[in-house]
Amino acid sequence: MLGFANKSEMDKFFKSGEVKKLSERISTYCSAVDAYDIFETITFVKDGKQVN
């Protein structure tokens, strides 16, 4: 899982040479990768306890 401070930082990361090199290696083992923008994260467990 990856997280970014903003869309600009995400775009910068995915356009980097490091990701291109990694993508070439991963393609041997993966046929697809999914990505989603997340606008809200809801916590259901905190400190090992269920949050209501």
18's tokens = 């490091």
Measured torsion, CA atoms of residues 21, 26, 30, 34, in degrees rounded to the nearest 10: -60
- Residue type present at position 30: C
Domain of residue 11 covers: 7-50
Give the C-alpha separation, 41 to 51, whole Å: 13
Q: Is 1 a domain residue?
A: no
Residue 15's pLDDT is: 92
Q: How many domains does the chain have?
A: 1
Asked whether residue 11 is assigned to any structural domain, the reply reads: yes
Please give the pLDDT value at position 40. 80
DSSP three-state, residue 40: coil
How many of the other CB atoms lie within 10 Å of CB of 42? 5
pLDDT in tens for each of the 52 residues of the chain?
788 888 899 899 989 998 888 888 888 888 887 777 888 878 788 888 888 7
